[in-house]
Chain A
Amino acid sequence: MTDEPTGTDPAATKTAELSCAGCGEIVFPSEDFCENCGRRLREGAAAPAGGPGPARREGATTKQYRGGADPARACAHCASRTIDAEGYCGACGMRQPAERDHVEITVPAGAAGVSDRGRRYARNEDALALTGHATGVAAVVSDGVGSSQRPEEASRAAADTGAAELAARLDAGTDPQEATRLAALKAAAAVAALAGSPGEAPSCTYVSAVVHGGAVTVGWIGDSRVYWIAAQEPPEDAADAGVEADTADLAELTGSAQLTEDDSWAAFMVAEGALTEAEAEAHPNAHVITAWLGADAGEVHPHVRTYRPSGPGTLLVCSDGLWNYFPAPAALAALVDGSADALGTARTLVRHALDAGGRDNITVAVIPLPTPSTEQPR
């Protein structure tokens, strides 16, 4: 059984978009060459997308990772056009910047995301997916576990599977909490299926955020996070800013707050009272995660929570490449300019993480609330 968007999905029937036969990039009928890879599009080169595989959704920019093989592409270092299947230049030998090295995504609902390789790793093992759904926007961020095999494939599968499933469930009217849980489980299954043998299990973290009406539902496994950055912090004398009135399934959000709790050694030690937050963060084990997606993960139990912000603000869905440098909600809030658009905010946050050292891959999705455009997303 498949839960891909089908004929019942209003978006799927909307357009038959064209895509480049060389790289799969969406192209327009008026274009002669693919903007992405430079391939000539005429002479039957372009084919309608949405044939085999999931139909493309409007605003669903869950970009597919493509390898470096692209004979038409010029080397980023020496301009020679001899890039081979493994992504190395045939003249100067440099590994080409993968498409995934820096990815920017925007969706019509005013949300955006940026994922960057950072300054220290050769590869971007984070993955990001943003999609519109019937009543709002959904974002998924996944961070490949560096010590596993092919972590970049794990995170890609998790983000794409999770986002597609979330949108499909929400479009079908499933309750956001249940949709979040089911999407995480489907992503977990997709990642587990990547394992070629018991000895190698590609693994990753997972975090999703769904905006529906005025509420936010988050789900996670691992240490990727969601933050709420309030446009206006509550007055100093108010009771503890941030999460308030924590009822069974709906928490009221006043000020900026972290909406997820890491499945990590550090979080565990802090929760147990064994270490302070600062001690735990400084410990070599700080980044050891205690739950993940992967064939070796055992049974996966996604955490799911729903919040209702009391005022406007911005939702940040991010990997530890960002929050390592700015773990406190207030630190992130200081970097978010309420007047900037979502893409501008995402770029600014990534730039700050790069400037701070960029030791890890950096990914952040930015979802403003309420949606800035007057038009509701599909």
Chain B
Amino acid sequence: MSHPHFSISVDQNKFLPEGGREVHAIVSVEATDTRGSQPVRVDRTRAGEVIIIDTSGSMSYPETKLRAAIEAAQTAIDTLRDGVEFAVVSGSNWATMVYPAQPGLVAADDRTRREAKRALGRLTASGGTAIGSWLRLADELFGDRDGIRHAILLTDGKNQHESAEELDAVLFRCGGRFVCDCRGVGTDWEVAELRKVASALLGTVDIVADPAGLVADFQAMTEAAMGKAVADVALRVWTPQTARIKFVKQVMPTVEDLTGRRTDSAPQAGDYPLGAWGSEVRDYHICVEVPPGEIGRELRAAWVKVVVPGEAGEEPQVLASGNVLAQWTDDEAASTKINARVAHYTGQVELAAAAQEGLQAYRDGDLETATARLGRAVVLAGEAGNDAMTAMLRKVVDVIDPVTGTVRLKRDISKAAEMELDTRSSKTVRTRKDETVNSRRGQG
């Protein structure tokens, strides 16, 4: 398998004041085709795809929901490139093979695509929702294969027919074994629950409030999965013996705290799983606490590497690396400068938290907290230039003053608007105008 070309760039103010301990940096990881800016070549990449469709009874209320889901899954199958090994699973109180009939994956070609679509067309809806059991079957289907392993999970309801512990156990088992993008259709599912699934399985979560939007969404999701060229990428972070990692967060395209995902991998180093990559850029905010050093001294506070598993029995391959530095200075002008991108992403992490907390308070009936937190979110979204967030916030609050964050909750907030804001609250934008990033990339 030929890897895309990975590069790491570090954006930070390395200067710390005398006695300073906390080092912040935005680490951008970019994967491009080795020939330059063209998309990564993926045609020979081994890939497996499992499509999981909720067929619980609620999917037929209204009947259009199931029909839209079937049509969306059929489009996804059409989007699979030849040779990708796939399966379709239907989920209710348990998981059932839709195609092929026996548990396993089959290579996509004209015949198998046609058979799979026909099998989908025969689906009917009945029974309950047990998401953990669906994921367990997907995990069995992927087995121990290497290459890209991707699942799409569509559901319309809460996970009512198994315990939260059962689901957690399955997520623990499946974490790192395949990537799963989750979609909630309608407004009867639980955002926090599906976010937990997507987060554990390094995938995305989104709402498709209107079943009519499913086809386009499934096509986009499958195209993105087909664009992945390398699986099981990890961010390896080395730190000095006396240092402590405070956090490692993905901050673009979405906020995802990876701090707890660390597995020790080498002396003084730990790996944070990043999932599968195509041609794309993701940004990470790393914060390291270091012991203070003398004025003028320079420290490598973190050594960040992109690694992928090596051939069987061999060491992981390092595909890119970068330094997060610290240097102590008595020049206050240097040490007090806050790096613009660190500030930008710090604001958007707070934005996601403010929106989610505001909505939780609203659901709990604490309207005062809801108003305050959503007002803060309005301010942060404005500062970050996150127009999509601003638009979604304006569906739940009336903005009286966008600068101070004075807002009034709308009288009747639609369930779809609330869930949309909740689901998409962790989506970030790179920078307000993004001039520095663009010019830097322009030279590559």
Residues of A within 8 A of B (CB): 78, 86, 88-95, 117-122
The complex places the Cα of A94 from the Cα of B241 at a distance, in Å, of 11
Do B242 and A92 touch (CB < 8 A)?
yes
B40-48, B273-281, B298-306, B353-361 - the one binding chain A: B298-306
Do A93 and B299 touch (CB < 8 A)?
yes
Asked whether B100 is an interface residue with its Cβ less than 8 Å from the other chain, the reply is no
Do B297 and A120 touch (CB < 8 A)?
no
A88 to chain B: which residues have CB within 8 Å?
A: 299-300, 303, 323
B239 to chain A: which residues have CB within 8 Å?
A: 93
Do B327 and A94 touch (CB < 8 A)?
no
Do A122 and B301 touch (CB < 8 A)?
no
Do B297 and A95 touch (CB < 8 A)?
yes
Q: In the complex, which of the residues A91, A117, A121, A122 contacts B240, with contact meaning CB atoms closer than 8 Å?
A: A91
Asked whether B296 is an interface residue with its Cβ less than 8 Å from the other chain, the reply is yes
B298 to chain A: which residues have CB within 8 Å?
A: 94-95, 122
* Known pairs A91-B240, A94-B293, A122-B327 / 6 extra A-B pairs, C-beta < 8 Å: A86-B300, A92-B242, A93-B240, A94-B299, A120-B329, A120-B330
A122 to chain B: which residues have CB within 8 Å?
A: 296-298, 327
What is the distance, in angstroms, from B441's C-beta to the closest C-beta of chain A?
Answer: 15
Asked whether B208 is an interface residue with its Cβ less than 8 Å from the other chain, the reply is no
Asked whether B295 is an interface residue with its Cβ less than 8 Å from the other chain, the reply is yes
Asked whether B332 is an interface residue with its Cβ less than 8 Å from the other chain, the reply is no
The complex places the Cα of A118 from the Cα of B240 at a distance, in Å, of 25
Residues of B within 8 A of A (CB): 239-243, 268, 290, 293, 295-301, 303, 323, 327, 329-331
Do A119 and B240 touch (CB < 8 A)?
no
What is the distance, in angstroms, from A339's C-beta to the closest C-beta of chain B?
Answer: 33
Knowing A92-B240, A92-B241, A93-B239, the reply to whether A120 touches B299 (Cβ < 8 A) is: no
A95 to chain B: which residues have CB within 8 Å?
A: 297-300
The complex places the Cα of A91 from the Cα of B268 at a distance, in Å, of 8
What is the distance, in angstroms, from A96's C-beta to the closest C-beta of chain B?
Answer: 10
B299 to chain A: which residues have CB within 8 Å?
A: 88, 92-95
The complex places the Cα of A13 from the Cα of B407 at a distance, in Å, of 87
What is the distance, in angstroms, from A281's C-beta to the closest C-beta of chain B?
Answer: 20
A94 to chain B: which residues have CB within 8 Å?
A: 240, 293, 297-300
The complex places the Cα of A117 from the Cα of B295 at a distance, in Å, of 13
The complex places the Cα of A93 from the Cα of B331 at a distance, in Å, of 22
The complex places the Cα of A64 from the Cα of B242 at a distance, in Å, of 34
What is the distance, in angstroms, from A347's C-beta to the closest C-beta of chain B?
Answer: 19
Main secondary structure of the interface of B (DSSP, over half): loop
The complex places the Cα of A90 from the Cα of B303 at a distance, in Å, of 10
The complex places the Cα of A94 from the Cα of B268 at a distance, in Å, of 14
The complex places the Cα of A206 from the Cα of B241 at a distance, in Å, of 42
The complex places the Cα of A262 from the Cα of B239 at a distance, in Å, of 45
**Chain A residue with Cβ nearest B267:** A90
**Chain A residue with Cβ nearest B14:** A122
**Chain B residue with Cβ nearest A92:** B240
The complex places the Cα of A88 from the Cα of B298 at a distance, in Å, of 9
What is the distance, in angstroms, from A112's C-beta to the closest C-beta of chain B?
Answer: 25
Do A120 and B240 touch (CB < 8 A)?
no
A118 to chain B: which residues have CB within 8 Å?
A: 296
30 contacts between A and B (CB under 8 A): A78-B241, A86-B300, A88-B299, A88-B300, A88-B323, A89-B240, A90-B268, A91-B240, A91-B241, A91-B268, A92-B240, A93-B241, A93-B299, A94-B240, A94-B293, A94-B297, A94-B298, A94-B299, A95-B299, A95-B300, A117-B296, A118-B296, A119-B295, A119-B296, A120-B296, A120-B329, A120-B331, A122-B296, A122-B297, A122-B298
The complex places the Cα of A89 from the Cα of B303 at a distance, in Å, of 11
Knowing A86-B323, A120-B331, A122-B327, the reply to whether A93 touches B296 (Cβ < 8 A) is: no
What is the distance, in angstroms, from A120's C-beta to the closest C-beta of chain B?
Answer: 6
What is the distance, in angstroms, from B270's C-beta to the closest C-beta of chain A?
Answer: 15
The complex places the Cα of A28 from the Cα of B175 at a distance, in Å, of 61
B323 to chain A: which residues have CB within 8 Å?
A: 86, 88
What is the distance, in angstroms, from A107's C-beta to the closest C-beta of chain B?
Answer: 30
The complex places the Cα of A88 from the Cα of B331 at a distance, in Å, of 23
What is the distance, in angstroms, from A159's C-beta to the closest C-beta of chain B?
Answer: 23
Knowing A92-B242, A93-B240, A93-B243, the reply to whether A121 touches B293 (Cβ < 8 A) is: no
What is the distance, in angstroms, from B304's C-beta to the closest C-beta of chain A?
Answer: 13
A93 to chain B: which residues have CB within 8 Å?
A: 239-241, 243, 290, 299-301
What is the distance, in angstroms, from B313's C-beta to the closest C-beta of chain A?
Answer: 25
**Chain A residue with Cβ nearest B321:** A86
The complex places the Cα of A122 from the Cα of B296 at a distance, in Å, of 6
The complex places the Cα of A93 from the Cα of B293 at a distance, in Å, of 11
The complex places the Cα of A90 from the Cα of B239 at a distance, in Å, of 9
B243 to chain A: which residues have CB within 8 Å?
A: 93
The complex places the Cα of A122 from the Cα of B323 at a distance, in Å, of 15
A121 to chain B: which residues have CB within 8 Å?
A: 296
